[in-house]
Amino acid sequence: MEKLLRYQIQTGVAQPKRLLQAVPTRWNSVFFMLERFLELQEALRSTAGLLDRYILTLSIEEWKICKDLCTILKPLQEVTQQMSGEEYVTGSLIIVYTRVLLTVYENKIPTTIDPDVAISVEIIVGQLKRRLGQIEYSGTFSICSLLDPRYKMHCFIDKSAAEKAKKTLIELVTAEINKKSHDTRSASLQPSTSTSTPSEPIKDGLSIWDNINEMFGDVEQTQFSPQASAITEVQRYLADRLLPIKNEHGKLLDPSDWWRNHQFVYPNLAQLYRNKCCAMSTSVSCERIFSISGNIITERRTRLKSEKVKQLMFLNVNM
């Protein structure tokens, strides 16, 4: 390893890099290991000739397999990284990422990849379809995707799944409107705390409110329909233009900011967004803390008391 670092410094590398080791509990560590292996390909070849003992070296075909494996694993790594976020909505991305991954592996993978790697691609496609083939019919994920102003109904491949999600959304908005109407009626029926009885005003025909009531009191009122209001709000939302995924500076736009700015335009949908759209629960946070604890508790610090370890962990996670 020292000779590898020394060779990189001699060739002008400002920050020499070490090889990475795969971790059995993290599949993407294999990707990072192979990626670093390819990155140091020239240095590894040159350093192998300087060693005192004979070591096995990769053939040209094996180097190509490593490169092809990195090619097919990169999309999965990018999706894994995005789905491991904790500070933004990830529930609306499941359907989108499933569709993107299937498109990439079925249509975008180069035909020049090694036949053994092509078998891996077939396995990935098969597992995606087996595990996530019906994901568009998930009540949770379909509503999350529909309420994401970046995608709405455009993320669905199956049109019947999109229509089912739209129908469910209308039902949810209708229930939200009924709930608000019930709360409003309950508030208006509450008895007044005032004990004094106001005197009856004398009607002399000069009050503008009496005249307005005479003019418009007999006009037939259109009966309020929560379902019609829900359909109108959902249709207006779906007809509104999509939120761009990135701004002009290449930064990802946050759908939560969009809903914050449109909460008075689509009040019932905005409430549903707050209730239904979520960040998916993952074990990544726990694994990150576990990794930090591994850095804290080393052989040189085995005498740390458990209470001291808790304090160090707290500082590492929160600083």
pLDDT digits (tens, 9 = 90+) for 226-260: 999 999 999 999 999 999 998 888 888 889 999 99
Kind and range of the H or E element at 184? helix 159-189
Residues 124-170 have pLDDT tens digits of 999 999 999 999 999 999 999 999 999 999 999 999 999 999 999 99
Top pLDDT among 279 and 70 is at 70
Which of these ranges, 6-10, 75-79, 142-146, 272-276, has the smallest mean pLDDT?
Answer: 6-10
Q: Which of 44-58, 90-104, 163-177 has the lowest mean pLDDT?
A: 44-58
Give exposure, 211-235, as e/b (b: 16+ Cβ within 10 Å).
eeeeeeeeeeeeeeebeeebeebbe
| Encoded amino acid at 190, one letter | Q
Higher model confidence: residue 281 or residue 79?
79
